[in-house]
Structure 1
Amino acid sequence: MKNYLISYDLYKSGQNYDGLISYIKSYSVWAKIHQSVWYIKSNKSSEQIRDELLHYIDRNDSVFVAEMNNAAWQNLLNGNSEYIRQNWAR
């Protein structure tokens, strides 16, 4: 499985945050890194993940999905640093 970073900005109030977050949490490995930045593992491509995320956002919102091969971090949200270390190479 590949490591991915997902980042998004939903610009209007009342956006479908719950649906978007539920979609991200549907992956077996996920972690919230920052307020609107997530880590997931998936066999899908960046484009496939982006296209699925588009179901939960409006046309004026933005989303970024990137496969990560190497990364460094410190003090992530919710203490997720160790969780990501444990799952990175799996």
Structure 2
Amino acid sequence: MAVHIVSYDLKAPGRNYDPLWARLREFAFAKPLESFWLIDTTMSAAQLRDDLLKHIDKNDRLFVARMAGESAWSDTISQTVKDWIWQRFPRG
């Protein structure tokens, strides 16, 4: 398994993005920010991108990258998200 960062800009006003969010929730995930997800999957970044592209419009923007392990965040990130990250990337 590998943790991937997924971030997007959804451009269509009034569009129903429930299918995208439902697909993201099928994975082990954490959601530290509004349109920023951490997804734990065996897929490569390209495979995950291709999978998610099926659930957004052509003018939307999507970014997927594999996380290498080092990260930092503000104190206002939820404890649930911190715990999720620390389970996958133990603190040094």
Q: What's the TM-score, normalizing by structure 2?
A: 0.84
What residue in structure 1 maps to residue 6 of structure 2? 6
Give unmatched runs, 5+ long, in structure 2. Answer: none
Residue 24 of structure 1 pairs with residue 33 of structure 2: no
Give the helix-richer structure, 1 or 2: 1
Deviations 1:45-66 (A, max 9, x none): 0000000111111111000000
- Kindly tell me the number of residue pairs found equivalent between the two proteins: 88
Matches within 5 A, 1:48-67: 48-67=47-66
Query: Who is 1:85 aligned against?
Result: 86
Task: Give 4+ residue runs of structure 1 displaced > 3 Å after superposition.
Answer: none
Helix, strand or coil for the counterpart of 2:15?
coil
Provide the identity percentage: 38
* Cα distance in 2 for residues equivalent to 1:77 and 1:34: 10
Please tell me the root mean square deviation across aligned C-alpha atoms, in Å: 1.7
Q: Deviations over 1:58-88 (max 9, x none)?
A: 1110000000012222332574112221233
CA distance in 2: counterparts of 1:11 and 1:42, whole angstroms: 26
Q: Return closer, same or farther for 1:69/1:49 CA change in 2, 3 Å cut-off.
A: same
Where structure 1 has 5 or more consecutive residues not aligned to the other structure, the ranges are: none
- What TM-score, normalized by structure 1, do the two folds share? 0.86
Cα offsets for 1:6-54 (capped at 9, x unmatched): 0001111132321101101101x20111000000111100000000111
